[in-house]
Amino acid sequence: MSPLPVGLLCAALLAGSVALSNPFAIAACAAAAGALLWASPPPRAMYVWFAATSALLVFLVNPFVSVQGLTPIWSGPQIPLLDTEITQEELVFGIAAGLRLIGSAMAVAAFVRLADGDRVLAALARVAPRSAMIAALASRLLPTLEQDATGLAMASRSRAAQLHRRRPAAALAAPLVGLSLERSLMLAEAMEARGYGGAVRTRTPQPGLNAPERVLTAIGIVTCAVVATAIPLDHYRYYDLLGDPFTTVGLATAALVGLAGAAGAVAGRWARRPR
Amino acid sequence: MSHALRMHDVRYRYPDAARPALDGVSLDVEQGELVLVLGESGSGKSTLLRAALGLVPSFHGGELAGRVVSEGLDTREHSPAQVARHVGLVFQDPESQLVMRRADHEVAFGLENLGCDPREILPRAEQALTAVAAGHLAERETGRLSGGEQQRVAIASVLAMGQSTLLLDEPTSQLDPIAAEELLALVTRINRDRGITVVLAEHRTSRIFAEADRVVVMEAGRIVFDGSPAEAAAHLAGSAPWLLPPVTQAFVAAHRPELPLTVRDARRLAAPASASRRELPAAATVVGLTSVTKRYGEIPALRGATTALRAGTVTALVGPNGAGKSTLARIATGLEPPDGGRVEGDGVRGYVSQNPAHHAVRERVDDEVAYALENLGVAAPERARRVAAELSRFGLEELASRHPRDLSSGERQRLAIASVTVMRPQLLVLDEPTRGMDGLRKLALAELVGRLAGDGCGVVVVTHDIDFAAEAAEAVTTMARGRVLADGCSVDLLAHGGFFACQVGLALGCATIAEAGALLRTETERAGV
């Protein structure tokens, strides 16, 4: 899929996840990004797993490292460097921070899975040709690196290595780096053999946007406008006391972003249908 | 006739290499020729192809003396990118040469580098894909294509650039027999129909040897022979018969003066042995698999596979790509659990990966062999004794202090096997052990696995290389679409086995070159009488 429509919607959701403050609006951004990721081709599970575990970690850690809030709900024993007085504000802030992480991670993941990587690189090459080729190398190396990691792990397990333990597993990092360097040299050589680095390059003309992509572009523009309008108006407060989340701006933003996420997911699925 | 490639007294040494990779190579290739380059691993075939494009010394560094002129461009004066406008190079490993994510973008990549008119790029890319029967792959992700499909896309990428010379460096080394035959047929067609000059370095010579206009034999960086296929067969019969097609090797083994290069020629010269069913000798079962199933996501890899892997026997597991061979092997060695069915068997089971580099995780060869014993908690004195014995058994004792990555490909392969057999497994699985291996090393490997089986180990060789399977294995298990099709004797399944037949099987109804040689000798003696 063309990177423009997906990029618009994902950028809006990423900006919303990071910059909005109303918890309902942040939750809506996370839900919309999740819906968009659902509409993208597999593999998706590892992105969801990464986002969910990171968010849970942030939620669990925040009350113990934050010393704010005026509504205590539990007090623990004194432990150096940790704040064991947990407040309602810290918990809500932790939930919001976790949702921010989920929203931003899933928005990036949805872009990675939905946008055509070659077209992203072609667009990048217009402004930074060298960086684009490094990105191309990296994107091609990732799958081979994954295969090599699996191969190394398999070969070590067949030699009785206990890879669930940290040290034996970590010992495979150096050979993996060695293998990836070999692979990158092979790929660079193949690129040179295909004339890369010679005369002035031309670019394959990109096809125009199709119907689902046009719909997605419209959704992306509307979402960008909604988020851009809401950010300066959204003044939700977490500390010292929680503000009222049921504000018109907060609820309206949440509703519009949620709707955009659902519509975006439908358009994303439509775009993936074989034609 | 003009020359596609001219090399004059080329000497090249890689940086820090002890000996030159090319040592006084002179070679002229005329436009439209199909030249087959033969030689053992490390003889300089790949370096010769890289020199033809200017990648040595431009990309690899090192010292080059002499002159290389490709399509009229002197590689000392023109960069590889400039030479690549006229000369294309397809590498051995398809996975490591694809740059873009989609197949049509991959083909377009070279055209973009040429500065091709943007309006022409996509039509030319589609034409090239169609020309190699890969038009249907245009919108597929390159990372999800099979090895054969990836290699087709790689060839299309070169064809699209409109180059008049095509260099191919062991393009079939990672392909199953059917994909390899299709690819070689495609290369021949490109040469014959389009007049494209082809210089092909290849170990699997059974299909291409007779098709070549010329055969060049390399040894230690030098060209030791350059002539027609028939002349090359006569030359190699005395010096390096393992470089010849298996059917020719059989006639060499029988000391027959005729040297047929194809199955058809061999059948004209000798009657094939009659098919007679043979039974495998009784042997204990090391691992038994019953109705084993396995899925990877939505893709079924095994659909009720049932087989018994035998002790003291070399068993070849053969079948096309995606048949489920590697999955079955991993399940048999306990590296993966099955989704359903029963796996019975105990004792130590070892698995040697298809890439020997996956078995190189230590800094020294002896440490690499000791790795498994350390993991098993074997005491230091016993460990040292077993490591020394294993190094000696595999002829690696001189290399004990070397880094595993500094070894040659054959030594790496032996080290990978030694690093597993040191555990004294009851079952040893070798996954595609002959990838990129020359004929001589295959013979050595066949002998090695035979010795391991002789020591009582059940050896399973997962392979696409039917000729190797026939040489090395006593028992054969054939697979397709996740099911075991047949278990039996290699003579029954590979000599008279239809789709999985080896070349001497097709020609003479025998499984091995030695058997075929004996058959031909008997026939000659009878004729003499």
Q: How far apart are CA B259 and CA B265, in angstroms?
A: 9
Average pLDDT over residues A5-11: 93
Q: Distances from the Cα of B346 to the Cαs of A157, B147, B286, B343, B426, in angstroms?
A: 16, 34, 8, 10, 9
> Which tops the pLDDT comparison, A198 or B160?
B160
Q: Please indicate if any CB of chain A lies within 8 Å of the CB of B372.
A: yes
Three-state SS for B425? coil
What was the pLDDT predicted at A117? 79
Confidence grade of residue A215 (pLDDT, cut at 50, 70, 90): very high
Residue A80 confidence (pLDDT): 80
Q: Among the residues of B5-146, which ranges form H helices?
A: 45-53, 55-58, 80-83, 103-113, 118-131
B191: Cα separation from own chain's centroid:
22
User: What's CA B205's distance to the chain center, in Å?
Assistant: 11
Closest CA to B307 of B333, B328, B321, B322: B328
The confidence band for B213, taking pLDDT boundaries of 50, 70 and 90, is very high
What are B402-424's pLDDT values in tens digits?
999 888 777 888 899 999 999 99
Tell me the whole-structure pTM to 2 decimals: 0.79
Residue A2 pLDDT = 85
Residue B362: how many CB atoms within 10 A of its CB?
Answer: 19
Task: Please report, as a single letter, which amino acid is at residue B72.
Answer: G
Considering chain B, what is the average pLDDT of its residues?
Answer: 89
Preceding amide of A116 cis, omega within 30: no
By Cβ distance, the residue of B112, B330, B358 closest to A204 is B112
Predicted confidence band at B498 (pLDDT cuts at 50, 70, 90)?
A: low
ipTM associated with this complex? 0.82
Judged by a CB distance cut-off of 8 A, whether residue A162 touches chain B is: yes
- How much of chain A exceeds pLDDT 70, in percent? 96
Tell me if chain B has a CB within 8 Å of the CB of A266.
no
Write out pLDDT tens, residues A108-118. Answer: 999 988 888 77
- Looking from the CA of B119 toward its CB, the CA atoms found within 13 Å total 0
Q: Write the pLDDT tens digit of every residue in B36-78.
A: 999 988 889 999 999 999 998 989 999 899 999 999 999 999 9
**B121: contact with A, CB 8 A cutoff:** yes
Q: How confident is the model at residue B277 (pLDDT cuts 50, 70, 90)?
A: low
Contacts of B88 in chain A (CB under 8 A): 193-194
End-to-end Cα, chain A, rounded Å: 13
Q: Which amino acid is it at A233?
A: L
Would an 8 Å CB–CB cutoff place B136 in contact with chain A?
no
pLDDT over 70 at B6, yes or no: yes
Q: Which chain B residues are within 8 Å of A121, Cβ to Cβ?
A: 100
Is B96's CB within 8 Å of A148's CB? no
Taking the CA of residue B352 and the nearest CA in chain A, the distance in Å comes to: 7
Q: What is the band of B212 on the pLDDT scale with cuts at 50, 70, 90?
A: very high
Q: Among A104, A101, A102, A115, which Cα is nearest to A39's?
A: A115
Q: Please give the pLDDT value at position A275.
A: 59
**Chain A contact for B332 (CB, 8 A cutoff):** no
Residue A133 banded pLDDT, cuts 50, 70, 90: low
Contacts of A194 in chain B (CB under 8 A): 84, 88, 99, 109-110, 113, 157-158, 161
In angstroms, the CA A167 to CA A148 distance is 19
Q: What is the 3-class SS of B488-509, one letter each residue?
A: EEHHHHHHCCHHHCCHHHHHHC
DSSP state for residue B322 in the 8-state scheme: T
- Dump pLDDT digits (tens) for A14-42: 999 999 999 999 999 999 999 999 998 87
Q: Which among A151, A188, A198 has CB closest to B113?
A: A198
pLDDT score recorded for residue B287: 93
> Binning pLDDT at 50, 70 and 90, where does residue A82 land?
confident
User: Are residues A192 and B81, on separate chains, in Cβ contact within 8 Å?
Assistant: yes
Question: Which residues lie across from B285 on neighbouring strands?
Answer: B310
Provide Rg for chain A, Cα atoms: 23
Three-class DSSP category at B511: coil
Question: Residue B257: CB partners within 8 Å, gap ≥ 6?
Answer: none
Q: Which chain A residue has the Cα nearest residue B358? A: A152
- Name the residue among B214, B215, B166, B172 with its Cα closest to residue B189: B166
Chain A closest CA to B330's CA: distance in Å? Answer: 9
The percentage of chain A sitting over the pLDDT mark of 90, rounded to a whole number, equals 47
Cα–Cα distance measured from residue A182 to residue A222, given in angstroms and rounded to the nearest whole number: 46
Order of strands across the sheet with B427-431? B349-352, B427-431, B458-462, B314-318, B475-480, B483-489
**Which amino acid, residue B81?**
A
**Mean pLDDT score, B206-219:** 93
Touching check for A183 and chain B: CB below 8 Å?
Answer: yes
Task: Tell me whether A243 touches chain B (CB under 8 Å).
Answer: no
User: What residues have CB less than 8 Å from B372, skipping those under 6 apart?
Assistant: A159, A160, B419, B420, B422, B423
Of residues A102 and A240, which shows the higher confidence score? A102
> At residue B386, does pLDDT exceed 90?
yes
Q: What is the 3-state secondary structure (H, E, C) of chain A?
A: CCHHHHHHHHHHHHHHHHHCCCHHHHHHHHHHHHHHHHCCCCCCHHHHHHHHHHHHHHHHHHHHHCCCCCCEEEECCCCCCCCCEEEHHHHHHHHHHHHHHHHHHHHHHHHHHHCCHHHHHHHHHHHCHHHHHHHHHHHHHHHHHHHHHHHHHHHHHCCCCCCCCHHHHHCCHHHHHHHHHHHHHHHHHHHHHCCCCCCCCCCCCCCCCCHHHHHHHHHHHHHHHHHHHHHHHCCCCCCCCCCCCCCHHHHHHHHHHHHHHHHHHHHHHHHHCCC
Three-state secondary-structure class, residue B476:
strand
* pLDDT reported for residue B280: 76
> What is the Cα–Cα distance from B13 to A153, expressed in whole angstroms?
35
Residue B331 exposure: Cα atoms within 13 Å on the Cβ side:
30
**Shortest CA distance to B49 belongs to which of B78, B76, B32, B29?**
B29
Instruction: Give yes or no for residue A233 having a pLDDT over 90.
Output: yes
Do B107 and B125 meet the contact criterion of CB atoms below 8 Å apart?
yes
Residue of A152, A174, A204 lying closest to B358 (CB–CB): A152
Average pLDDT for B84-106:
87
pLDDT of residue B529: 54
Strand ranges inside B107-252, DSSP E = 165-169, 197-201, 214-219, 222-227
Structure confidence by residue, pLDDT tens digits, B413-467: 889 999 999 999 999 999 888 877 788 888 888 998 999 999 899 999 998 888 8
**Which amino acid is it at B65?**
A
Angstroms from A159 CA to nearest CA on chain B? 5
pLDDT at residue number B275: 64
Q: Is A41 on the interface with B (CB under 8 A)?
A: no
The mean pLDDT of B223-250, rounded to a whole number, is 93
- Residue B231: what pLDDT? 95
Sheet of B63-70: strand order equals B22-30, B3-13, B63-70, B73-74
